[in-house]
A and B are shown apart, each in its own frame.
Chain A
């Protein structure tokens, strides 16, 4: 959920989104959800000569799964802070995986270990 929160902090800012069909658009980030689907306002296609498909379109919804890159405004991003937060997030995920496995082993007491993955994903999502 870290990058979801991160993108929420960029709402209202101008971003460039490059799609997996090589089309690239810029516009104001209006909203984002947990799949990183994004809504952009007042968009323009970067290469309108090549992509005249959205000349009369201003507000769009982009499915998160088709986004290749998001170009961010450098002055809006604290890279150091983002890096620290990413590391903390990864560390926490690792930790909850370990405790999840240990708890399952203790509960099982020699019985076949059951799959604890749903538990872990819950913990990660909640943290």
Chain B
């Protein structure tokens, strides 16, 4: 089949947030993707959510996320993101995608 018409071109060079099928939240600079939505991030980190403490950030560096394992790719509004108080945001970790 031909390439998807709904592309991720708009995300190039932007800060994006990826939610994976196993419920992880990755944030990084969007460097590229292909037709199966494999995505390459640089300067990436994982945001670990927990119900008893604020968001923990784990630096990861350059990351390639396989398309199979991606649920959502979202563009992060960096100004709004900087305003967030990570210590105050408490939430259960996301559930896995169950097909």
Contact = CB atoms under 8 A, between A and B. Distances in A.
A60 B75 contact: yes
The number of chain B residues touching the other chain, given as a range, is: 35 or more
Given A54-B74, A55-B84, A63-B37, 5 more contacts: A19-B72, A20-B99, A52-B89, A56-B83, A61-B72
Interface stretch (A32-40, A89-97, A107-115): A32-40
Interface of B: 1-2, 4-6, 8, 10-11, 17, 19, 21, 23, 25, 37, 47, 49, 67, 70-78, 80-81, 83-84, 89, 91-92, 94-99
B47 to A, nearest CB: 8
A56 B78 CA distance: 7
B23 to A, nearest CB: 6
Interface in A59-109: 59-63, 65-66
B84 to A, nearest CB: 6
Interface in A16-52: 19-23, 31-35, 37-39, 43, 50-52
Contacts, number: 99
Q: At the interface, is chain A mostly helix, strand, loop or mixed?
A: mixed
B4 A62 contact: no
Interface residues of A, number: 31
Nearest to B25: A53
Contacts of B78: 56
B6 A21 contact: no
A57 interface: yes
Nearest to A38: B6
A31 B5 contact: yes
Given A37-B4, A38-B6, A63-B71, A58 B98 contact: no
Nearest to A55: B84
A21 B92 contact: no
